[in-house]
Structure 1
Amino acid sequence: MNIVILSRNANLYSTDRLVEEGENRGHKIEIIDPLKCDIIIEKEKPTIYYKDRYLDYVDAIIPRIGASITFYGCAVVRQFEMMNVFTTASSEAILRSRDKLKSLQRLSKAGIGMPKTVFTNYSRDVEEVIEHVGGVPVIIKLLEGTQGLGVVLAESKNAAESVLEAFNGLEARVIVQEFIKEAKGADLRALVVDGQVVGAMKRQGKEGEFRSNLHRGGNAQIIKLSAAELSVAMKASQALKLPVCGVDMLQSDRGPLLLEVNSSPGLEGIENATGKNIAKSIINYIERNTKK
């Protein structure tokens, strides 16, 4: 089978592991930079041209589309879809997951618990916004933020007001979320493949850091999810129509609360923490869903 990994960096751990496991299964794996693809739109013959050839031989793709190239990356994924190529994440699902507000709205409708969240259109009534999420401290997030960037903990009303006024001045849209104190700077990452959780870890932020992202100095360890946590992860995958994704949750006094769903989850942290071969699970998923 010819499998293409859409990635801008062939040296990333996740990309390298997918190549390794795909080749171990006897597949031909190719890494292609989506920004170097030309999309050719023609009646009944959509194609993609890359460097010196047409990509008309591809059986499946694994999109590893970074947030900074979402628009063009998803256009490339969509073109492959028009060519009837199997993908582990559809273009619409990637776009859906990248829009924090839209994804939270869909997840809420699906009955999934999450921290109280408020979105407002450059509101000056900061006190009212804070009351809606239960008072300070609050988390303020840029809608376009990723990997812990654009996320601020405001511990007082004055701090929250200052941060919101700064973002308002930049015309940057934000959401305000309830701060879950009992999570103690930790969160859970569940890796879902084909709608099932294949690995989970607990990530703990470093001392004094409320964000648990591993690249910000946090650490991770394997964890066995509760039935409620497993249910949230699988429901979130279904609600956003992302059969392969990372689901981030907080442990709270009222049960698991969903933070976000990542359409291009990194494999290094979770494979190292759990000892699970996640890359192999993704390749197996492709094999089960393609004819060749």
Structure 2
Amino acid sequence: MNIKILSANANLYSTKRLLEAAKKRGHDIEVINHTKCDIVIEKKNPVIYYKGKQLDKVDAVIPRIGASVTFYGTAVVRQFEMMHCFTTTESVALVRSRDKLRSLQILSRAGLGLPKTIFTNYSKDVKHIVDQAGGAPVIIKLLEGTQGIGVILAETKKAAESVIEAFNNLQARVIVQEFIKEAGGADIRAFVVDGQVVGAMKRQGKEGEFRSNLHRGGSASVIELTDEEERAALKAAKAMGLGIAGVDMLQSSRGPLILEVNSSPGLEGIETATGKDIATIIIKYIERNVD
């Protein structure tokens, strides 16, 4: 098969692992910087050029689209879809996953457990917002934040009100979520491929840090999901329309609570924690879906 990895950085762990796994299974594979692609749109003839060369006879693409280039990256994925290429992440699901508010609404409609979340149009009644989230402490998140950036724990009501007011004055949209104390600064990442949980890890924030992101110094260890957690992960990925997903959830007294469904989950943390070859599992997923 002719496979393209859409990645702006060929040196990233995930990109290199996918490249290695595909080559081991005998496929022609190349890393394409999607931000350097040119899209040609005309009647019944979608074309993509990369470095002056037309990309044709492509069987499948693996989008590894960074959050900062979602708009253009999605357009490139959509163009490949118009060229009848299989994509491990569909363009509409990619757009959906990058919108935190829309994602939460979709997950809520699917009947999944979520931390109580408040969103307003720069409301000046910040006291009411904090009360609606269950009172302090609360988590305040920028809608455009990634990897734990733009996520704040406000431990008192006064602090929460001050942070919300500051973001409102900057015209920065935020969501306010209840703080799940019993999670203990840890969350679970379930890695889903083609309707199966292929690996799971528990991420623990470093001491004094409520965010468990590995990019922020958190640690990861393998975990066996409960039946309820596995069902929640699979249901979340399906609701978002993602064939590959990293489903992040909290363990709470009322069951698993979904935080986020990531459409471009990294491989380094999950492969290191579980010892599993997730990259090859992804390549096999492509093989099952391409004639």
TM-score (normalizing by structure 1):
0.99
SS at match of 1:210: coil
Aligned to 1:159: 159
Aligned to 1:146: 146
Contact 2:130-2:161 at 8 Å conserved across structures: no
Aligned to 2:71: 71
Aligned to 2:200: 200
Cα distance in 2 between the residues matched to 1:95 and 1:153: 27
Cα distance in 2 between the residues matched to 1:46 and 1:63: 18
Cα distance in 1 between the residues matched to 2:150 and 2:50: 34
- The code of the aligned residue for 2:157 comes to K
Aligned to 2:287: 287
Identity of aligned residues (%): 71
Cα distance in 2 between the residues matched to 1:146 and 1:95: 15
The number of residue pairs the alignment matches comes to 291
Q: What aligned pairs does 1:187-266 form with structure 2 within 5 A after superposition?
A: 187-266=187-266
Cα distance in 1 between the residues matched to 2:167 and 2:182: 28
Cα distance in 2 between the residues matched to 1:103 and 1:278: 25
Deviations 1:124-162 (A, max 9, x none): 111111111111100000111111011000011111111
TM-score (normalizing by structure 2):
0.99
Contact 2:6-2:34 at 8 Å conserved across structures: yes
How far 1:267 sits from its partner (Å)? Answer: 0.2
- The code of the aligned residue for 2:97 comes to S
Deviations 1:52-77 (A, max 9, x none): 31111210000000000000000000
Any gaps of 5 or more consecutive residues in structure 1? none
Contact 2:118-2:133 at 8 Å conserved across structures: yes
Aligned to 1:273: 273
Aligned to 1:118: 118
Deviations 1:144-199 (A, max 9, x none): 11110110000111111111111101101110000000000000000000011000
Moved over 6 A (4+): none
> Aligned-residue CA RMSD in angstroms?
0.6
Deviations 1:97-143 (A, max 9, x none): 00000010000000000100010111111111111111110000011
Aligned to 2:12: 12
- The code of the aligned residue for 1:12 comes to L
SS at match of 2:147: coil
* Deviates most, 127-136 or 226-235: 127-136
- The code of the aligned residue for 1:29 comes to I
Cα distance in 2 between the residues matched to 1:194 and 1:217: 30
Cα distance in 1 between the residues matched to 2:238 and 2:148: 24
- The code of the aligned residue for 1:219 comes to S
Aligned to 1:41: 41
Cα distance in 1 between the residues matched to 2:226 and 2:258: 14
Cα distance in 1 between the residues matched to 2:198 and 2:94: 20
SS at match of 1:288: helix
- The code of the aligned residue for 2:167 comes to F
How far 1:208 sits from its partner (Å)? Answer: 0.3
Cα distance in 2 between the residues matched to 1:52 and 1:38: 9
Aligned to 2:30: 30
Aligned to 1:96: 96
Cα distance in 1 between the residues matched to 2:279 and 2:119: 36
Cα distance in 2 between the residues matched to 1:195 and 1:73: 24
Cα distance in 2 between the residues matched to 1:71 and 1:290: 26
